[in-house]
Amino acid sequence: MQPEVVMIGLGYIGLPTAALIASNEVNVHGVDINQHVVDTINRGEIHIVEPSLDEAVAKAVDKGYLQAATTPVEANNYLIVVPTPFKDKNEPDISFVEAATRAVLPLLKEGDLYIIESTSPVGTTEKMMEFIYENRPELKDKLFIAYCPERVLPGNVMHELVHNDRVIGGVNAASTEKAISFYSNYVKGALHPTNARTAEMCKLVENSSRDVQIAFANELSLICDKAGINVWELIELANKHPRVTILQPGCGVGGHCIAVDPYFITADFPMESQIIGKAREINNYKSFWCAEKVKTAKLQFQLKHGRKPSIAIMGLAFKPN
């Protein structure tokens, strides 16, 4: 049976999304270049850690609604959920998005829906549209093309994929409506329509905003250290103001998205993104600053006690367990 959805990329977002769609009794054909990943999923097992995902995948595979392969097949809806790593000097690399698009290019037909979910530089969706129409000119203006970023929290992905709001931006109004119609079958959160470029920027801005807020707290800790002020007490007192909410400082920024997404903006808009770029510098520097503090404390202990100290590092994981 021809699948309704082809999911290119079966990682931390692609596989949960595929399982969610398949749980609604929709045939999903998942694609990953890693044969081990494909074989694992086809056994009804998972290769990543995410609560309740194993049950969803096992059930979807057992009922025949989800299968995986290393190559795509013809469908009506194509979702691109592949990595977007960086080249040198923090320049985004969209080659995986291009490769995924090239893979489905011969399969596209009039009326199909093509969606990018991968975190991408502004203009990527339009660039892929141009690539498709250059190679398949007979399909020009006959496809629905959109961008829809995820905004889920690892450890709670299966719940948030359903209940979080989504921002959906098409290359034109018809594409936006088509994509909203697609997601409305699976998402209970509100679906907010916009254009593709705004949707791409929205994903980047959300995490860049958090990065800037964290950088402010981290910069305060650097200032207070030099000024002989307890930064924790200072922030607690400042937050007594009814319109002030300062975060707690740390040793940088954890996780994946917050420490990465701002570079998608600074790479394309280096002159305009002064605050965003500086926040990245501050949060990166804070890790080295904290390491130097530990090294200094270690040396002071050794000089005082004549032996090397034992050092415990708490919180190596991004999430519990």
Residue 290: pLDDT band by 50, 70, 90 thresholds?
Answer: very high
pLDDT at 55 over 90: yes
- The neighbouring-strand residues paired with 79 are 7, 115
Contact status, residue 170 vs residue 144, Cβ threshold 8 Å? yes
CA–CA distance, 104 with 214 (Å, rounded to integer): 40
Give the angle subtended at the CA of 4 by the CAs of 186 and 182, to the nearest 5°.
35
Amino acid at 205: V
Residue 278: pLDDT band by 50, 70, 90 thresholds?
Answer: very high
**pLDDT at res. 254:** 81
The better pLDDT of the pair 319, 308 is held by 308
**pLDDT at res. 255:** 78
Catalytic residue among 148, 203, 278, 298: 203
Mean pLDDT along residues 299-308: 97
* 319 labelled catalytic: no
pLDDT at 316 over 80: no
Catalytic residue among 63, 257, 290, 319: 257
* 257 labelled catalytic: yes
**pLDDT at res. 91:** 87
Mean pLDDT along residues 254-265: 90
CA–CA distance, 64 with 66 (Å, rounded to integer): 6
Residue 88: pLDDT band by 50, 70, 90 thresholds?
Answer: confident
CA–CA distance, 21 with 44 (Å, rounded to integer): 15
User: Maximum CA pair distance of the chain?
Assistant: 79
pLDDT at 256 over 90: no
- The neighbouring-strand residues paired with 195 are 170
In the chain the first and final C-alpha atoms are separated, in Å, by 40
What is the separation of C-alpha 95 from the centre of its chain, rounded to a whole number of angstroms? 17
Classify domain 5-203 by CATH architecture: 3-Layer(aba) Sandwich (3.40)
Q: State how beta strands 66-69 and 144-147 pair.
A: unpaired
Contact status, residue 17 vs residue 50, Cβ threshold 8 Å? no
pLDDT at 16 over 80: yes
Neighbours of 224 (CB within 10 A): 17
Mean pLDDT along residues 45-50: 95
Q: State how beta strands 144-147 and 166-170 pair.
A: antiparallel
On whether the 205-305 domain is CATH 3.40.50.620, my answer is: no
> Burial of 225 by CB count in 10 Å (0-12 exposed, 13-18 middle, 19+ buried)?
middle
Mean pLDDT along residues 94-107: 98
131-177 residue pLDDT tens = 999 999 999 999 999 999 998 988 999 999 999 999 999 999 999 99
- Every domain of the chain and the residues it spans: 5-203, 205-305
